[in-house]
Structure 1
Amino acid sequence: MVNVVERVSLEPGGTPFGVKLFTEGVVVIGFGEVATAKGSRCPAREAGIEEGDVVITVDGKRVTGNADLSAIVSSSE
């Protein structure tokens, strides 16, 4: 048995809803290992950083986003 129906159209309406998360700094959502001569290490974990932490300064320098954090870490010794 086949039921044939008229074409139905859907028109979106109402108030759009979204979620925006505004933070100062960088939210830690995961970690990566660094290969060294003595094996893999995770300097962030070794420093006590945990998932969910928000990094707002590094060595006294303000961090406003990923690019800032990357530049500071890249220029460190």
Structure 2
Amino acid sequence: MLYYPPVKDDVRDSHVARFGKHTDFGTITFLFQDNSGGMEVKTKSGEWIHAIPIKDTVLVLVGDLLSVWSNGLYPATVSK
């Protein structure tokens, strides 16, 4: 289990990236949403789109391990 502490307001406003493009290494990632935003995901066509946060929802990402276990049926989510 990983925990990423909140970004301070002065850093959030400067548009600093916390992580570059990546896939998660595990099976499934659950991102419990608030109003912070900032997450982008890559579509099958290669376009980057904002994952608009919806308060009190969970964003579910497929990781590398689940992609391998499913023989690519569930591709790992590329995000930044």
Shorter-chain TM-score bucket reads: under 0.3
In our comparison, the structure showing a higher alpha carbon Rg is 1
> Normalising by the residue count of structure 1, what TM-score does the alignment of the two structures yield?
0.24
Relative contact order higher in (CA < 8 Å, ≥ 6 apart) = 2
**Structure with higher helix content:** 1
